[in-house]
Amino acid sequence: MGSALYTASSTASGGRQGTVKSSDGTLDLALSLPKGLGGNEKEGTTNPEQLFSAGYAACFDSALQMVAGQAKKKITSEVTAEVSIEKQTGGFGLSVNLIAEIEGVTQEEAEDLMDKAHKACPYSRAIEGNVEVNKNAIGK
């Protein structure tokens, strides 16, 4: 392992129907189990999959901006990360659908930038080989 440049810390209590709080107090969220998992999905609450999708989308968009800059491409982008929990052999697992809308490049360039961002993004690297990730680039 390398030397940490930044460490985020959050504490959960009560599992999927409890709370999660970041150490600096910025996040202080109530959790509830989604209806798709048999829960009551209370209004104004979140769940681990939403939190993961938000972090992944933001991180991937940053990686996309970085690789575009390295390629001397001026882009604007928007990334959506759809995180699904599903039954898999031996229990449950995640799958991800990444959608990147990239303005300022052709479709072929968008696909190339997305592949490069996927190799650079810490979230993508962390789940490589463990989580199926479908990538969909849209050049505009």
pLDDT in tens, 23-54: 999 999 999 999 988 888 899 999 999 999 99
CA distance to 43, 60, 95, 137, per residue, from 128 (Å)? 33, 14, 11, 19
Pick the CATH number of 48-139 from 3.40.50.720, 3.40.30.10, 3.30.300.20, 3.90.420.10: 3.30.300.20
Q: What is the pLDDT of residue 13?
A: 96
Q: What is the pLDDT of residue 24?
A: 96
Task: Kindly state the tokens that stand for 26.
Answer: 């910025």
What are the sequence ranges of the domains in the chain? Answer: 1-46, 48-139
83 with 134: CB under 8 angstroms?
no
Distance, in Å, from the CA atom of 102 to the CA atom of 111, rounded to the nearest integer, reads 9
1-46 and 48-139 share one fold = no
Q: What is the mean pLDDT of residues 2-26?
A: 94
Pick the CATH number of 1-46 from 2.20.25.10, 2.60.40.1180, 3.40.50.300, 2.60.40.420: 2.20.25.10
CA distance to 116, 117, 136, per residue, from 70 (Å)? 10, 11, 21
pLDDT in tens, 73-110: 999 999 999 999 998 888 999 999 999 999 999 999 99
79 with 96: CB under 8 angstroms?
no
